[in-house]
Chain A
Amino acid sequence: MTTTATRLDELLRRDYPHGFVTNLEADSLARGLNEDIIGLISARKREPQFMLEWRLKAFRHWLTMTEPGWASVRHPPIDYQDIVYYSAPKSGKDGPKSLDEVDPELLRMYEKLGVPLQERERLAGVAVDAVLDSVSVGTTFKAKLAELGIVFCSFSEAVHEHPELVQKYLGSVVPYTDNFYATLNSAVFSDGSFCYIPPGVRCPMELSTYFRINAKDTGQFERTLIIADEGAYVSYLEGCTAPVRDENQLHAAVVELIALDNARIKYSTVQNWYPGDQEGKGGIYNFVTKRGDCRGANSHISWTQVETGSAITWKYPSCILRGDNSVGEFYSVALTNHHQQADTGTKMIHIGRNTRSTILSKGISAGHGSNAYRGLVKVLKSAAGARNYTQCDSLLLGDQCRAHTFPYIEVKNATAKVEHEASTARIGEDQLFYCMQRGLSAEDAVSMIVNGFCKEVFKELPMEFAVEAQKLLGVNLEGSIG
């Protein structure tokens, strides 16, 4: 076993395959953060007054806040004055109308990542709103979606074309006072995606965004807002990869989902940002606030995430189950290798009657990785008949890794039923032996077992994502032995 283990160690130490830097001319502001910078961001984006005011309110509130210290992650202090808060690729200035107008350099980059826009457009029928650094550079299928009344565009565009929707819903799920990182995002967010599905419309294709952090030292502050009006349905995919960098980069995104009566939103994420090297140097700090509001009766929001990247992940996609009979779901696979740290989980806040939630979390720790599940299931007094089922399992690969579970369960209604179970174990020698004596190599055996461990989550992903997710786990973990 020792020789296999050594060889597998080598596999574990593989270089990040998506590490490269594309040279794009960037149009950036100076470093630092003050009211002038916020004014400049807002002016560059030619935003209406209400946006500027909102940003400034957030900024002033942010000045009164301190960074949260409760997560089980460690990092050197972040100098928020040493970050460039706005950077737009020059070539994207006038907004390409078709892919032909998109910077060929950019297209090549996506190609290297395995996200050929044209391919996807043609083969998979996916509309891609690609976000590079801070400005949306390519939007497809817009016309087709517009026929159904679906609005799917960059956030900046939405601010101009649908200010009434933005004003009505922005900050209604994650208020600008919410938490340190969300407040920072509210003040400086550069762009993101906006999506509105009108009543009764079922979005005919998976909507998708590819986030990518590119320009050096650029914090990325995305803002996504998705509204499913009464009876609407949408499935949204978010995928991320980022090039190799030495300096840590901060990413503080905010995602807000709103589901009205009988609406359903399915939000899937594959996150594979640069995790830092084997010594834990560099990598992305991913401090994200994601929250869905099941505002209407019988609404349904489900989060599925596969987190394999980032040096630090701090992320709790949550559901506020306000509407009667609404349903919240959270399916997660989080992998930490080398010195990666993940503190992730969910909050399910049961407010409406007969609300139901399911939490399924699978954590895999390898190398010196640290993986924490932190979740809250809260049943308020009004939530008669609420139901929750939570399962969080951890798989340990390597004697230096860490796995933690911090589930909070608060029940204030006696008709609620809440169940939580968690387990932590490593891959059994017997399981490995069983696979290997049937002719599988050690790495294939581990890969198979890990994929089996994650299967229940992967099956929640749209097909093309599920394939990618399996590939990612394979690359990031292939053959590690506990």
Chain B
Amino acid sequence: MTSTDRILADFIRAAPLLPGAGVAWLTRARQAGLERFAQTGFPTPRDEEWKYTSVASIEKRSFTPLPNGAHAAPPELNALAFPHFPGHCVVFVNGRYSPALSAVGLLPPGVALESVADTLERAPDALEPLFAADNRETVFGALNTAFMADGLYLYLPRATTIEEPIHLYFVVTNKNAAIHPRNVIVAEEGARATVVEHYAGTHGVAYLTNAVTRIFAGEQAAVDHYKLQQEALQAFHVAGIHATQDRGSRLWSHSISLGAEIARNDISTTFDAEGCEATLNGLYLARGRQHVDHHTRIDHAKPGGTSREYYRGLLDGASRGVFNGKVIVHPQAQRTDARQLNHNLLLSKDAEVDTKPQLEIYADDVKCTHGATVGQLDDAQLLYLRSRGVDEAVARSLLVYAFARDVIERIRVGALRSRLEEMLLARLPQGERVRALA
């Protein structure tokens, strides 16, 4: 049985049990997603977009979808490295919303903050335009449409602001499960919100998370989006975050990748009207045999857009980091200002980095730059520290800490920022002494 046949069989079994099974438009969308997958199957390294990331190990594992979600007892969240952050908290266990574990506070009138599965049961038509096929999606995105069971639906009416961050916890406990979360964030004109997606799973369990998040930012809206990926080290994590921005809107996307055996992220935004801004901020830490891949894409489709991209990677052990950053300036997108930076530190002799910044420009009144580096800690900086009496191990840790902090400092949710700093220090060989120095 080929992997494609297996997935088709999974679909036949799961489809009647999936939320919104009776909704005609959704059934069509799911079938279209499945057909797209069936046409190409899983990508191979011959596919330019997957040149450096092989998903053969995902393909041969036969992860099974869990249409009904959690059967296991509710997990002890703290044991899974989920501290309680302030703000609204929405928990998904094995892909399904868990009301018992969630805690949503008071919300401004007109705001919808609910489970996608619930919305599909109650008022599915509101979601139809938000599920339209998107050509930025990978074949995993198509699979997600076919199998997606739940996720967050956040709707912010005009000029509403949710001050407290909204934390989404996706936790997986089932062995060999394939979880397909789907989140939809709609911010109407002038609305503002902060959303943190946090992924984790039971230690030692192998599973697949294949998430898709779509963000629609209306005129002058502001969305601050975080993804903290802390999956189990045996797990596989594939995620697509695709934003569409209207006039004058602002998007911040932060991607922090720490867990999973293989992690692949496709993050994109399209400036659909004038004067949009986007900041893409990312940090990937890998060790052992971890493989972490970020593919980002910014489409400057309309004039006067500004984009900034900062991605940094720390590669230890025999890990491999992959970065591809596309910036596409479309023919009408004059007065575009785009900058992109990707820096990588190789901390061990077996680590590897493949980076490919990429500019495609079809307009002339533009300012675009990108830079990429791969290297080690700077000898001059090490010498500077050592000459001031800092021993070598501490000096190294301090420089690594400083390297990563550049990205962490851009995180605007205080609780998350300090937690990440703590986690970074805990990973460093001389973290305690670095803490004292920093």
Contact = CB atoms under 8 A, between A and B. Distances in A.
A423 B374 contact: no
B364 A426 contact: yes
B372 A409 contact: yes
A90 interface: no
Contacts of A70: 48
Contacts of B349: 413-415
Contacts of B364: 396-399, 401, 426, 482
Nearest to B51: A408
Given A70-B48, A420-B372, A425-B368, A414 B348 contact: yes
A394 B361 contact: yes
A424 B366 contact: yes
B78 to A, nearest CB: 37
Interface in A391-423: 394, 396-423
Given A424-B366, A425-B366, A410 B361 contact: no
Contacts of B253: none
A70 B334 CA distance: 27
Contact of B370 (A402, A411, A421): A421
A421 B354 contact: no
Given A418-B375, A420-B372, A404 B348 contact: no
Interface in A85-120: none
B359 interface: yes
B368 A409 contact: no
Contacts of B369: 421-424
Interface residues of A, number: 35
B380 to A, nearest CB: 13
A423 B348 CA distance: 31
Contact of B351 (A409, A414, A418, A426): A414
B357 A407 contact: yes
Interface in B33-86: 48, 52
B5 interface: no
A412 B352 contact: yes
Interface string A418-448: 1111111110000000000000000000000
Contact of B334 (A399, A411, A422): A399
A426 B371 contact: no
Contacts of B348: 414
B371 to A, nearest CB: 4
A222 to B, nearest CB: 31
A133 B368 CA distance: 42
A404 B344 CA distance: 23
B102 interface: no
10 closest Cβ pairs, A-B complex: A414-B346, A396-B364, A405-B359, A417-B375, A421-B371, A423-B369, A424-B368, A418-B374, A411-B374, A420-B372
A63 to B, nearest CB: 22
B228 interface: no
A399 B365 contact: yes
Interface in B315-369: 331, 334, 344, 346-369
Contacts of B363: 396, 399
18 contacts: A396-B366, A397-B364, A399-B364, A402-B361, A405-B370, A409-B356, A410-B52, A410-B352, A411-B354, A413-B346, A414-B376, A416-B374, A417-B373, A419-B375, A421-B369, A423-B369, A425-B366, A426-B366
Interface of B: 48, 52, 331, 334, 344, 346-376
A449 to B, nearest CB: 14
A129 to B, nearest CB: 39
Interface of A: 70, 379, 394, 396-426, 482
Nearest to B315: A414
Contacts of B362: 402
Contact of A420 (B351, B373, B376): B373
Nearest to B350: A414
B219 to A, nearest CB: 27
Contacts of A420: 355, 357, 370-373
A408 B356 contact: yes
Contacts of A401: 364
Contacts of B359: 394, 403-405, 422, 424
B358 A409 contact: no
Nearest to A429: B365
A385 to B, nearest CB: 11
A340 B66 CA distance: 54
Given A407-B357, A407-B358, 13 more contacts: A396-B366, A400-B331, A407-B356, A408-B354, A411-B354, A414-B351, A417-B374, A417-B376, A419-B373, A421-B371, A422-B359, A423-B367, A423-B368
Contacts of B368: 423-425
A379 B352 CA distance: 10
Nearest to B354: A410
Contact of B375 (A398, A404, A405, A416): A416
A399 to B, nearest CB: 5
B348 to A, nearest CB: 6
Contacts of B357: 405, 407, 420, 422
A418 to B, nearest CB: 4
A349 to B, nearest CB: 14
Contacts of A397: 364
Nearest to B52: A410
Contacts of A394: 359, 361
B137 to A, nearest CB: 22
Nearest to B351: A414
A426 B365 contact: yes
B346 to A, nearest CB: 4
A422 B359 CA distance: 9
Most buried by B among A379, A404, A410: A410
A398 B357 CA distance: 24
Nearest to B339: A423
A425 B370 contact: no
